[in-house]
Amino acid sequence: MTNMWGDEKIQKLLNDLPDIQDTRSKEDVLSRLKQDSRMQNRPKQKTNRKIRRNLIPAFVAAAVLLVLTLWIPSMLKNNHSNDEASKMISKEDSNNMSVFSDDDSSIDGESEEMAESEMDQEIIMSNRIENRSSNPAVYPDDTAGYTVFHLGLASEAAASIPVTFLIPNSQIKEDFGNVEPSSLDMYLKYAGQIEEEALGFYDYHPYKGTFSVDGDVLVQTLPPGHGYDIAPGTVSTYLGTLQDTFYGFNEIRFENEDGTPVEFDQVGETSKPMKLNSGVNHYNYYSFKQSDGQEFLSPNFSDSYENLERALLEMKVDPNDIYASIIPPNVNFEVIENKEVTIVKFLETLDLLSMTEIEANQLIDGIVLTAASFDRQIQFENILQAEWNGFNLNEPLPIPVGPNVMPLLVK
């Protein structure tokens, strides 16, 4: 994939900036920026395992600083602006630094102390990934104060990569009131706003056509020439992203605009409703690396397995040239099923510190995500460390709510 932030795109962004006018002095502008609380250095928060999971990784802040670096000198040089433009800059910086965060207008009577507390919570969330390339799983504790939004993104390998966004509950309340939104509600509200290319994926969403709900069945009405069936790979990507996106429905039905069932060209027969599994897909997980260096935990082209033991043992080998095993070559384990949990017992004592942090995290997350795909918990045995990233490895690990936490970058 080409670099999404090349010289031409940066130049285009700069050319698209408004013609700003300002009668203030450079000293006045600099003074105002220094007084802005968002420009102040805040102490780093110390947290437990939650530190490694974040909503807004460090590169987003770096991008905002780049914009400020390019924009402010130009503004001072032209010596043109007005108060409304200054307010626009302040609002845009706030939106970029913390997507869907509450600005002053949405506090609506809350005290400054409450606003400060919310900002501190966002800072904690913004530090949840120490290394951008790890894209860890999301666990129940990570969702406090947030609503989970699942989405399948179209990768370079013509496959869906399941990702998880965390949207502040305050934003959910603003957008939906006191009604708990369904996965379809959130998709219709947010999917079209996401900067998929900035996240390293193809610009795929929103889907063509329209959606409706018939009980627990999701109905997608597709227009002629929708293009989802022009090749086997496009059909696979399309169906995979639907499976990774719409939780809470039993199945999805495909209809033409006249109400008749869709016939996908590459399938050669009238489509049947596709079962939606809400994440319990019987997948196992491998490492998938994009050309930009990002790594994700992903199923192998949506391959599923009859039982969890086989799915776990298959993870020890690379399935193809696209996906890589997250199990080191010299690490072996056995799988023991019991009534409460599934035990993964390493045949030799496993020292997680013998691996890089990303490798160790992918090992733990990948195995636990695979079990979650069967709606099962994992209990590890024979790991040297009794604790890892805040997890007590002597106890069953919680079932994650989704893979690959991502920053919700919007257009």
What average pLDDT does the segment 182-205 reach? Answer: 96
The answer for residues whose C-beta is within 8 angstroms of residue 310's C-beta and 6 or more apart is none
Cα torsion angle, 142, 145, 151, 156, sign: negative
Among 57-61, 245-249, 304-308, 341-345, name the one with the lowest average pLDDT.
57-61
Residue 76, pLDDT > 60, answer no
Pairing of strands 217-221, 251-255: parallel
pLDDT in tens, 325-346: 999 999 999 999 998 899 999 9
Among 3-7, 101-105, 137-141, 400-404, name the one with the lowest average pLDDT.
101-105
> Tokens 């009859």 appear where?
306
Report cis status (omega within 30 of 0) of the bond before 206: yes
> Tokens 């936490």 appear where?
405
Residue 113, pLDDT > 60, answer no
CA–CA–CA angle 287, 308, 272 (5° rounding): 85
pLDDT of residue 280: 97
The pTM (predicted TM-score) of the whole model is 0.71
Pairing of strands 342-350, 323-324: unpaired
Six-digit token string for 268: 């050669």
Six-digit token string for 60: 């987003």
Higher confidence at residue 59 or residue 187? 187
Higher confidence at residue 379 or residue 121? 379
What average pLDDT does the segment 337-366 reach? Answer: 96
Residue 186, pLDDT > 60, answer yes
What average pLDDT does the segment 141-153 reach? Answer: 97
**Are 348 and 316 a contacting pair, CB within 8 Å?**
no
pLDDT confidence band for 35 (50 / 70 / 90): low
Q: Considering the chain, what is the average pLDDT of its residues?
A: 79
pLDDT confidence band for 13 (50 / 70 / 90): low
- What are the residue boundaries of the structural domains of the chain, listed by start? 7-131, 140-275, 291-392
Sequence-ordered strand ranges (E) for 245-329: 251-255, 263-264, 269-270, 274-275, 286-289, 295-298, 323-324
pLDDT confidence band for 268 (50 / 70 / 90): confident
Residue 88, pLDDT > 80, answer no
What average pLDDT does the segment 115-131 reach? Answer: 46
